[in-house]
Amino acid sequence: MNIWVTEDQTENLRISFRVKTILDHAESKFQKCDIYDTFDFGRLMMLDNVVMLTERDEFFYHEMIAHVPLTVHPRPKRVLVIGGGDGGTIREVARHSEVEDITIVEIDKMVVDMSRKHLPFVACGFDDPRVTLHIADGIRFIQEQKNAWDIILIDSTDPVAFAEGLFHSDFYTSVREALTENGILVAQTEFPLLSRNLIRDIFSSLNQVFPVSRMYLAPVPTYPTGLWSFGFASKGPDPLRDFNVQRAAALAGKLKYYTGDTHRHALTIPPFIRELLP
Ligand code: SAM
- Pairing state between β 78-83 and 149-155: parallel
pLDDT band at 221 (very low <50, low <70, confident <90, very high): very high
Same domain, 146 and 188: yes
Atom of ligand 1 nearest to the CA of 139: 23
Q: Which domain CATH number covers 35?
A: 2.30.140.10
Same domain, 50 and 68: no
Query: Strand order of the sheet with strand 13-27?
Result: 3-10, 13-27, 32-38, 42-47, 50-54
Q: Of 122, 128, 136, 30, whose CA–CA distance to 79 is shortest?
A: 128
- Span from the CA of 186 to the centroid of ligand 1 (angstroms): 14
DSSP H helical ranges for the chain:
58-70, 88-93, 109-118, 120-123, 138-143, 169-178, 196-209, 245-249, 260-266, 271-274
Same domain, 155 and 186: yes
Is 74 exposed, middle or buried (CB count within 10 Å of its CB: 0-12, 13-18, 19+)?
A: exposed
Same domain, 120 and 14: no
- Span from the CA of 165 to the centroid of ligand 1 (angstroms): 12
pTM of the model: 0.98
Judge if the beta carbon of residue 92 lies within 6 A of ligand 1: no
Residues 190, 227 contacting (CB under 8 angstroms)? no
Domain span at residue 83 reads: 58-274
Judge if the beta carbon of residue 156 lies within 6 A of ligand 1: yes
Same domain, 123 and 32: no
6 forms bridges with which residues in the sheet?
16
What is the radius of gyration, based on Cα positions, of the chain? 18
Pocket test for ligand 1, best of 86, 104, 106 (most atoms within 8 A of CB): 106
Task: Return the residue whose CA atom lies nearest to atom 4 of ligand 1.
Answer: 157
pLDDT band at 190 (very low <50, low <70, confident <90, very high): very high
Q: Which domain CATH number covers 86?
A: 3.40.50.150
Q: Report the C-alpha gap between 135 and 111 in whole angstroms.
A: 10
Q: Of 62, 63, 25, 69, whose CA–CA distance to 47 is shortest?
A: 25
Same domain, 35 and 65: no
pLDDT digits (tens, 9 = 90+) for 267-278: 999 999 999 999
pLDDT digits (tens, 9 = 90+) for 93-133: 999 999 999 999 999 999 999 999 999 999 999 999 999 99
10 forms bridges with which residues in the sheet?
13
Q: Of 172, 105, 177, whose CA–CA distance to 148 is shortest?
A: 177
- The total of structural domains in the chain comes to 2
Same domain, 87 and 166: yes
Same domain, 147 and 203: yes
